[in-house]
Amino acid sequence: MTRHVTLSEVVMSVDDRIRAIETEELPANVPAILEAAALDAPDSCALNFFEEGITFSYAELLDAVLATARGFARLGVRRGDTVGVMLNNAPSFPVAWLAIARLGAVMVPINVAYTSRELEFVLANSDASWLCVASDRFPTVEQLSDELKAKLGGHIIVAGEPRDGTLDLAAVQESGRDAAIPLPALADIGCDDLLNIQYTSGTTGMPKGCMLTHRYWVTSGKVNAFRDGRRYSNILASVPYFYMDPQWLTLMTFFHRGTLFVARRQSSSRFMKWLRDYRINFALFPEIVYKLPPEPADRDNDVIRVNVYGLSPEVHADMEERYDFIVREAYGMTEIGSGMFMPIEATDMVGSGYCGRPSPFREARIVGPSGEVLGDDQEGELQIRGPGIMLGYFNNPEATNASFVDGWFRTGDLARRNPQGYYRLVGRIKDMIRRAGENIAANEVEAVLRSMPEVLEAAAVPEKDPIRDEEVKAFIVLRESVDPAAVSPEMVLDFCRQHLARFKVPRYIAFRGPFAKTPSGKIAKHLLLKEEAASPSRVYDANLRNWL
């Protein structure tokens, strides 16, 4: 137990807190959360982009959102229109998202590290008719196909220096200062209306667009705000806004009428200084920070709780002692939002490796390979259901049908439940690699490698790493007609860099002979790894630029 929270300060029991969250009426939609906060606390600071020196009070933020919404409406953005947003961690991102929500339109957040191949897929797959993009990412837009650029036409809005044939975001926002421009009635935007098509790594090759409603976001914000029974005044968002975390952190902050401090990008070396300087009460804590050498000021902070994901159980207690704050596991996915949480008072679960109990509005079960529901201490697939999970994958009914069983979402994670109702992850069914918090589909990396003319087959597997959790390791079989001396690892890596976001590019490259196959003709990765354990292939390390 740390000095920042004592059990006596947690007034309601966890069951009572869950019951209160689930029974209290939800806000009607995402814009309603901001409007209520602006009415209650107009002069309080809502957003602080501390590296930019830019802040917004709740009244100023609402004014900026309404002006942006009217500016978009003046251009012709209508309810149900899909708007791609490829912006950096700057005020333009949350303002654009909330403005799109206010119009009843749909945002497609886009990773700024995407290559033109990845951007082309997301824009085409989501049927995006508008694109709001940072000026420094415009070179990627210029590489899109002529067909897609023609479809977007004059619907490209640039934040920063505008380009020929594009619209200036600042000018669009200024044009929306005209209060006579009509907006949809707030009450007409339904809680179950679509708000985001949020792309996440897919096991079949390309990302899949999760259809997330206002209810999804309202639920995520409220659950994270109130499940501890504590008030968090200062909250930190240090990962990019195109991920789900800063979006729900924004709404969590609004529920508390607090301040969200937004970093330009994640930094392990500056993270603890941010916590101290801005008196942060709640944050998502990257384990890599703990791996840095201890400092005398580590315990000098106002943090009450941090969330961790997949923390090594053996370091849990020491992390709490070192920083003097409460460290709790949580579990979520883009598809379901908050799935599990560890109660703040669950001190007996520190170091257990368990990720918690079902969050408010969520039910969980463990299912065996034949679809049978399993009991305590039995290992099977974790499945989740409840109001506000994704509607399905956009334009992908096959993947949607494969991911749901009678309303239960199949997470692809193997887990077990103990008799006290806590769940622990024990493995994966899905062929995914998790690198520094990023989910990478092995199939997507393999598909890019196979598209290289010299490559016949490829297999991407996770390689354990003490800093990034896992790295991507690629085994490659060259075509028979190719001279192995003519294909260097750097050639392969350069090809990957042209077609994959940098976090997906393999660190390790190994050339080898034919792969063992399953009866259906797929690469038998379990046999591959067994063969490599017995007789390892020579491996090239891209970081060291050398053979191991």
**CB 194, CB 391: distance < 8 Å:** yes
Q: Among residues 171, 193, 213, which one ends one of the domains? A: 213
User: Tokens 């697939």 appear where?
Assistant: 381
Q: What are residue 158's phi and psi, to 5 degrees?
A: -110, 130
Backbone angles phi, psi at 106, to 5 degrees: -130, 130
Q: What residues does 328 pair with on adjacent strands?
A: 307
Of 157, 189, 213, which residue is a domain's last?
Answer: 213
Domains of the chain: total:
2
- Tokens matching residue 135: 């000026």
Which residues, listed in sequence order, are joined to residue 387 by a DSSP beta bridge?
none
Kindly report the length of the chain.
548
In a domain, 485, yes or no: yes
pTM: 0.85
Q: What is the largest CA-CA distance in the chain?
A: 73
**Parallel/antiparallel/unpaired status of strands 423-428 and 234-237:** unpaired
Q: Which of 261, 279, 305, 253 is nearest to 41 (CA)?
A: 253
The CATH number of the domain holding residue 519 is: 3.30.300.30
- Domain assignment present for residue 318? The answer is no
CA dist 100 to 49, 72, 194, 196, 246, Å? 21, 8, 11, 10, 16
365 found inside a domain: no
* 440 three-state secondary structure: strand
Q: How far apart, in Å, are the Cα atoms of 518 and each of 100, 174, 462, 521, 532? A: 47, 60, 20, 5, 17
Residue 191: inside a domain, yes or no? yes
* Residue 351 resides in a domain: no
The residue to which tokens 């109990």 are assigned:
357
AA letter at 479: R
CA distances from 454 to 160, 480, 482, 517, 524 (A): 41, 9, 6, 21, 22
What residues in the chain have per-residue pLDDT under 50? 1-8
**Cα–Cα distances in Å, from 284 out to 210, 226, 247, 364, 537?**
23, 16, 13, 23, 38
Alpha-carbon distances, residue 114 vs 24, 54, 93, 452 (angstroms): 40, 27, 17, 19
Q: 29 with 190: CB under 8 angstroms? A: yes
Q: What's the pLDDT at 469?
A: 85
- Structural domain of 486: 435-547
Domain stops at, among 181, 213, 245: 213
Residues linked to residue 423 through DSSP beta bridges, in sequence order: 356, 417
Q: What is the pLDDT of residues 148-171, one digit of tens each?
A: 999 998 899 999 988 888 999 999
List beta partners, residue 327.
306
**CATH classification of the domain holding 145:** 3.40.50.980
Torsion of CA 87, 91, 97, 103, to 10 degrees: -120
Torsion angle of alpha carbons 399, 402, 406, 411, nearest 10°? -90
The Cα–Cα gap between 436 and 468 comes to 4
The C-alpha atoms of residue 49 and residue 52 are separated, in whole angstroms, by: 5
* 336 lies in some domain: no
63 SS3 class: helix
Q: Residues near 384 by Cβ (< 8 Å), separated by ≥ 6? A: 336, 339, 358, 362, 363, 364, 408, 409, 411
Q: What is the Cα gyration radius of the chain?
A: 24
Q: Residues 286-310: pLDDT tens digits? A: 988 998 999 999 999 999 999 998 8
Q: What is the pLDDT of residue 10?
A: 56
Work out whether strand 82-86 and strand 106-109 pair parallel, antiparallel, or are unpaired.
Answer: parallel
Alpha-carbon dihedral angle through residues 312, 315, 320, 322, given to the nearest 10 degrees = -140
Residue whose C-alpha is closest to residue 45's, from 341, 343, 256, 339? 256
Helices marked H in 260-412: 271-277, 287-290, 316-323, 397-403
Q: Compute φ and ψ for 211, nearest 5 degrees.
A: -85, 105
- Output the six-digit token pair for 149: 């650029």
Closest CA to 134 of 289, 10, 306, 264: 264
What is the distance between the alpha carbons of residues 404 and 507, in angstroms, rounded to a whole number?
34
pLDDT computed for residue 7 by the predictor: 41
138, part of any domain: yes
Could you tell me which residues are beta bridge partners of residue 461?
Answer: 473
How much is the pLDDT for 11? Answer: 66
Q: Does 401 map to a domain?
A: no
